[in-house]
Amino acid sequence: MSGKILLVEDNEDDITLTLRALKKKNIANEVTIVRDGVEALDVLFGREGREVVRPALILLDLKLPKLDGLEVLREIRQHDSTKGLSVVILTTSNQEEDIIKSYSLGANSYIRKPVDFVQFTEAVGQLGLYWLVLNEPNPQIND
């Protein structure tokens, strides 16, 4: 598999679980971790001296410090250089309003984090298989 994963998550336990789940499912793609919405935009747009990251997949939490996930998604979709990136909302929120807003802002998928580790591992594994192996990425996005 090729392609980077950008994990936008502020909860250390969820970061650890996500990395374990990817490893358990043999998804060895490079993972860049950012812990708030501002940092996510910094790496996507090369702000604050950060190297630009063009991931094959963005796993985006909604409840983030500094700038929430919906605002990050809005920014991603407004710029030619990032609007074609695959963005999967991976969050604990099952609020219908969050689901509707996510899709209206251009999320490719919305997945509620399972509480159980086995279910979580399976969900992340399926995400990795689909988005990084089966899905044909937009050829206009540079890795």
pLDDT at 132 (0 to 100): 76
Distance CA 124, CA 126 (A): 5
pLDDT in tens, 61-91: 999 999 999 999 999 999 999 999 999 999 8
Q: In the predicted model, is pLDDT for residue 142 greater than 70?
A: no
pTM of the model: 0.89
pLDDT band at 1 (very low <50, low <70, confident <90, very high): very low
CB 22 within 8 A of CB 128: yes
Give the span between the Cα atoms of 63 and 46, in whole angstroms.
Answer: 23
Q: What's at 7, amino acid-wise?
A: L
Residue type (1 letter), 43? V
User: Which tokens go with 107?
Assistant: 């999320």
Ordered structural domains, the chain, with CATH: 5-133 (3.40.50.2300)
Q: How far is CA 82 from CA 77, 97, 120, 122, in A?
A: 6, 24, 27, 28
Provide the 10 A C-beta neighbour count for residue 68: 17
